[in-house]
Amino acid sequence: MAAPCVFWGAAVSYRLFLGGRVSLALRQGVWKAAAAELQVGTGEKILRLRHTTGVTAKKNVAALRRETYTVDFIKKQIEEFNIGKRHLANMMGEDPETFTQEDIDRAIAYLFPSGLFEKQARPIMKHPEQIFPKQRAIQWGEDGRPFHFLFYTGKQSYYSLMHEAYGKLLDVEKRQNQLQAKGLFSEKTKTKDLIGSRWLIKEELEEMLVEKLSDQDYAQFIRLLERLLTVECSAEEEEFVQRFRRSVTVQSRKQLIEPLQYDGQGMAFSTSEGKRKSAKAEAIVYEHGSGRIKVNGIDYLLYFPVTQDREQLMFPFHFLDRLGKHDVTCTVSGGGRSSQAGAIRLAMAKALCSFVTEEEVEWMRQAGLLTADPRVRERKKPGQEGARRKFTWKKR
């Protein structure tokens, strides 16, 4: 029985299992299921389970919990993915060596056109690491003894990280004390790292450690890292800290600025479009004018008798303090009165970008003048009276 037992243990140790959070009963159920699999797969003799309890495994316990992917399974998937990638490149007539992920996406979208609205429901072909969730390898050996010395804390990766960081801090302080004792203490002058980058957020850290954290844990960790930054540290500590920082783009969006055009009289003007719900508008803003606005050839006072719409038109100019300085001609179609006003407002704001400094463009973007309103009419669902309203509930 020795050989099969060893085999059993080895196989088990390489299988991917979920971490220590799993309850005892479930674990045993999985062990049982795993045993059954082993039976069927390899056709070996029926092995006696090491731990037998009175708990009977539930039938669909495997379905209830997350699917466990073995290392072999993942490796096989990666091989299949690579082969499939080469086949796809051949199909599309491209070079298999230089076939990138964007090419794959384009090819799949071309070969399997889908009309589904939900982007995540469309067919995808991505590397298995991105598809299958990261899972932790089994934490203990065949004798039941855990590999990591902090296993029984419950959050072994987190505590080991904290331990490492604190160890580094102690090293740095020891070094500083030594320098101070020798009298070669120098002030730290480094703050450049902090600009343009941010700490990892809690979700990203969880993803990195494959472990759930609490808010207090995360805060503690960040405080420790910040303390590490305040003292002078060497290159490897810097690198350690930089692992936990992500860069942040200074401007989250680069606004497209329309080029200026010049008409017959030499007056500069700029054109752009705007949309809101189902209304589309195109606005031509002239550089010098007296604040007249014509919509579809009609004066804006007559086109929008409601004050609210005219206030919407006023917003871009009022924000930039250019109320009576520009002339506007616009065409608009579709939608209702409010959405037409919103569409014209967006078009005018975009056109005004070309007459205005970069800083003011950024202010406009932050004020929300340059963002198209994404709200559209929500679909009515069956079984309900409207999009959200349910039918009147009658008790009997």
Closest CB 321 distance from other proteins, rounded Å: 7
- Report if residue 310 touches other proteins, rule: CB under 8 A: yes
In the list 189, 307, 379, 388, the residue contacting other proteins (rule: CB under 8 A) is: 307
In the list 10, 24, 64, 301, the residue contacting other proteins (rule: CB under 8 A) is: 301
- Report if residue 317 touches other proteins, rule: CB under 8 A: yes
Among residues 309, 376, 375, 322, the alpha carbon closest in space to that of 349 is found at 322
Q: Is 299 helix (H, G, I), strand (E, B) or coil?
A: strand
- Report if residue 72 touches other proteins, rule: CB under 8 A: no
Rounded CA-CA distance 199/247 in Å is: 9
Comparison of 193 and 311: residue with beta carbon closer to other proteins: 311
Binding string, residues 339-368; x marks residues near other proteins by CB under 8 A: ------------------------------
- Report if residue 297 touches other proteins, rule: CB under 8 A: no
Piece of 158-166, 169-177, 203-211, 307-315 that binds other proteins (CB under 8 A): 307-315
With tokens 């991917």, the residue in question is 16
- Report if residue 324 touches other proteins, rule: CB under 8 A: yes
- Report if residue 302 touches other proteins, rule: CB under 8 A: yes
Q: Is 141 helix (H, G, I), strand (E, B) or coil?
A: coil
- Residues with Cβ within 8 Å of residue 55, at least 6 apart in sequence: 25, 28, 29
In the list 6, 36, 131, 298, the residue contacting other proteins (rule: CB under 8 A) is: 298
- Report if residue 321 touches other proteins, rule: CB under 8 A: yes
Closest CB 331 distance from other proteins, rounded Å: 17
Binding string, residues 249-288; x marks residues near other proteins by CB under 8 A: ----------------------------------------
Binders of other proteins: how many residues, by CB under 8 A?
16
Among residues 306, 376, 309, 307, the alpha carbon closest in space to that of 348 is found at 309
User: Which residues are bridge partners to 329 per DSSP?
Assistant: 284, 294
Which secondary-structure segment (H or E) carries 197? Answer: strand 197-199
User: 292, 327 in Cβ contact below 8 A?
Assistant: yes
Closest CB 341 distance from other proteins, rounded Å: 13
- Report if residue 299 touches other proteins, rule: CB under 8 A: yes
Closest CB 296 distance from other proteins, rounded Å: 11
- Report if residue 291 touches other proteins, rule: CB under 8 A: yes
- Report if residue 314 touches other proteins, rule: CB under 8 A: yes
Pairing of strands 245-247, 197-199: antiparallel
In the list 161, 300, 329, 347, the residue contacting other proteins (rule: CB under 8 A) is: 300
Residues in the chain: 396
* Interacting residue ranges for other proteins, rule: CB under 8 A: 291, 298-302, 305, 307, 310-311, 314, 317-318, 321, 323-324
